[in-house]
C-alpha cells in the first residue's frame, strides 16, 4: 500500500496595514476557512499554520519563514498562500506587510524572490505558491516615485521557470485588481479557491481524487470571470495566471475522502455528475423575431456571422422572456427583488438566478435549418431536488420542460454502457443504439419519456 503523502501549509493573511494601504477585505476570514478545509484535503493539521493580524509584520513573517524547514520536516509537498497587496520596484516584486512604511515601501515589504528562496530551503519536492496580491497604489506623496502597483510579471516568470519545484498561481495579472464581493463575503478568487478545496470543483479533480495545481488554475481561470459578471454591475476584468508550468502537475489536494474517486466503477456514478437540468428546446422562424426588419436577410448557412446575427435579432425576445419569468417567479415564490439576479447577455443568452434555482434561456441559429432560431430553456442549480415537486414550480414552469438532462464531468463510454446493459439486461429495459455508438436511447417499461445517453 503506497504511503500517504505528507503535506504542509503556510497561510499568510495581511488584511490590515498600519499606513501603507487600505485593508484587503475578507483576507483573514477566507484563509481561516481554508485552514479548516486542509485536513480533509490531505494535509497534516499540525503542519498547517495561519499568520494573521499582529503576526503579519515583516519581522513576524520572516521569522516564520526561517523556521519553516523545521515545521515542514521532510514533507512531500508545501502549500503557501499569501493574501496581501503587491508592488514592484526596478523589476522586483514585493508583498506588503502589516507594518510596511509608505516612505520606504520596498525595504519594509517582503520581496517575492526572498519568499521563494525561503520556500526552497524546505527542500520539498513540490511547492505551490498561491498569491492574491491586489496592487498597492502608492498615491501618497511620501511614496518613492519609481514604485509601481502590482507585482512584476517578468520577474515572476523568471523565478518560477528557474525553480526545480515551485509552481505559482496568481489571483490576477500583475497590476490588475483582485476583486472581492460583498454578496459572497469573500474575495472572488478566494471564494472559488475555497470551493476547490471543499471538493466542489469536480471537473478539476482527477480520477484518483487528487487536484493538481494546473487543474486548480484551470478551474479558477474559468470561474472567476463568470462570477465577476454576475456580482459586479460595471465591467470587471480579472485574469488568474499560472507560472512554472513545468511544475504544475504538483498535487495541491487529495479530495478522495471528500468527493470519492471520480473514476468510479459505475459509468453513471453520481460522484461524476456535474449538473442536472430540466431542458426544453423549440424552433421558430428567424423572420418572426422581434428584431427582424424587412431589410434583413434570412441566413442560408450556419457560421459565426449567422450565429451573431440571430443572437442580435433575438435580443428583444430574450429580454421579454426573462422579464416575464422574473415577474412570475417573484410573484409565485415571494422572492424579494434583491433575491433575483437577472442578466441578458450579448451572445444570445440570459439567466435568472434565484435562491433555489437558476433559469437560463438562449437563442441561436438552428444547425439543421439556418432560417430558424433554436431556443433552449433550462432550469438547474437546484438547491433541493424536492423543490421541483412543489406547486409554485409547477405554476411557473408547468409543462415547459420535456427533458431531464444529466451532465457528467467525464465523458461516458456509450459503447461500454450499452454492452453492460445487453450483457445483463435489467427487466423492462431496452436499449436502442446506432452502429457508431455515439449515443443511445434507453426505454423503460411503464415510462412514457425517454433517456438519452451521449
Q: Is the pLDDT of residue 450 over 70?
A: no
pLDDT of residue 47: 96
- What percent of the chain is modeled with pLDDT above 90? 58
Give per-residue pLDDT as tens, 31-56: 999 999 999 999 999 999 999 999 99
Selected residue with higher pLDDT from 288 and 391: 288
What integer is the mean pLDDT of 399-428? 72
Q: How confident is the model at residue 443 (pLDDT cuts 50, 70, 90)?
A: confident
pLDDT of residue 410: 63
CB-neighbour burial class of residue 234 (10 A; exposed 0-12, middle 13-18, buried 19+):
exposed
Give per-residue pLDDT as tens, 231-269: 776 778 899 999 999 999 999 999 988 765 444 344 455
Euclidean distance between the first and the last CA atom of the chain, given in angstroms as a whole number: 37
Region of 21 (left: φ > 0; alpha: ψ -120 to 50; beta: rest) is beta
Closest CA to 408 of 266, 271, 259, 209: 271
Q: How confident is the model at residue 347 (pLDDT cuts 50, 70, 90)?
A: confident
Give per-residue pLDDT as tens, 104-144: 999 999 999 999 999 999 999 999 999 999 999 876 555 67
Can you tell me the distance from the alpha carbon of 353 to that of 59, in angstroms, rounded to the nearest whole number? 46
Amino acid at each position: 500500500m503506497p504511503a500517504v503523502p505528507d503535506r504542509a501549509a503556510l497561510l499568510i493573511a495581511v488584511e490590515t496595514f498600519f499606513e501603507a494601504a487600505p485593508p484587503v477585505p475578507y483576507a483573514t476570514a477566507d484563509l481561516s476557512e481554508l485552514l479548516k478545509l486542509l485536513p480533509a484535503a490531505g494535509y497534516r493539521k499540525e503542519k498547517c499554520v495561519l499568520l494573521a493580524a499582529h503576526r503579519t509584520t515583516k519581522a513576524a513573517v520572516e521569522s516564520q519563514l526561517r523556521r519553516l524547514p523545521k515545521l515542514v520536516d521532510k514533507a512531500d509537498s508545501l502549500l503557501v498562500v499569501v493574501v496581501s497587496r503587491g508592488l514592484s520596484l526596478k523589476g522586483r516584486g514585493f508583498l506588503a506587510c502589516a507594518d510596511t512604511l509608505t516612505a520606504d515601501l520596498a525595504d519594509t515589504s517582503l520581496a517575492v524572490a526572498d519568499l521563494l528562496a525561503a520556500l526552497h530551503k524546505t527542500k520539498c519536492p513540490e511547492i505551490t505558491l498561491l498569491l492574491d496580491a491586489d496592487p498597492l497604489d502608492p498615491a501618497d506623496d511620501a511614496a518613492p516615485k519609481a514604485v509601481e502597483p502590482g507585482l512584476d510579471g517578468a520577474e515572476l516568470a523568471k523565478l518560477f521557470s528557474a525553480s526545480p519545484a515551485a509552481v505559482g498561481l496568481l489571483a490576477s495579472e500583475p497590476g490588475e485588481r483582485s476583486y472581492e464581493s460583498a454578496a459572497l463575503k469573500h474575495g472572488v478568487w478566494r471564494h472559488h479557491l475555497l470551493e476547490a478545496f471543499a471538493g466542489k470543483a469536480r471537473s478539476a479533480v482527477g480520477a484518483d481524487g487528487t487536484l493538481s495545481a494546473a487543474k486548480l488554475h484551470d478551474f479558477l481561470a474559468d470561474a472567476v470571470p463568470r462570477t465577476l459578471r454576475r456580482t459586479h454591475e460595471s465591467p470587471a476584468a480579472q485574469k488568474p495566471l499560472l507560472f512554472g508550468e513545468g511544475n504544475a502537475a504538483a498535487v495541491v489536494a487529495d479530495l478522495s475522502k471528500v468527493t470519492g474517486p471520480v473514476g468510479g466503477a459505475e459509468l453513471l456514478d453520481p460522484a461524476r455528475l456535474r449538473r442536472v437540468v430540466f431542458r426544453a428546446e423549440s424552433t421558430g422562424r428567424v423572420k418572426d423575431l422581434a428584431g427582424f426588419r424587412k431589410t434583413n436577410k434570412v441566413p442560408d448557412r450556419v457560421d459565426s456571422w449567422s450565429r451573431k446575427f440571430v443572437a442580435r435579432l433575438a435580443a428583444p425576445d430574450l429580454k421579454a422572456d426573462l422579464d416575464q419569468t422574473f415577474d412570475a417567479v417573484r410573484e409565485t415564490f415571494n422572492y424579494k427583488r434583491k433575491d433575483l439576479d437577472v442578466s441578458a447577455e450579448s451572445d444570445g443568452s440570459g439567466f435568472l438566478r434565484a435562491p433555489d434555482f437558476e433559469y437560463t434561456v438562449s437563442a441561436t441559429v438552428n444547425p439543421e435549418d439556418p432560417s430558424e432560431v433554436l431556443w433552449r430553456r433550462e432550469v438547474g442549480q437546484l438547491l433541493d431536488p424536492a423543490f421541483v415537486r412543489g406547486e409554485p414550480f409547477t405554476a411557473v414552469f408547468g409543462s415547459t420542460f420535456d427533458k431531464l438532462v444529466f451532465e457528467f464531468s467525464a465523458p461516458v463510454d456509450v459503447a461500454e454502457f450499452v454492452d453492460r446493459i445487453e450483457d445483463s439486461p435489467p427487466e423492462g429495459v431496452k436499449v436502442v443504439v446506432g452502429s457508431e455508438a455515439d449515443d443511445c436511447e434507453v426505454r423503460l417499461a411503464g415510462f412514457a419519456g425517454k433517456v438519452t445517453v451521449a
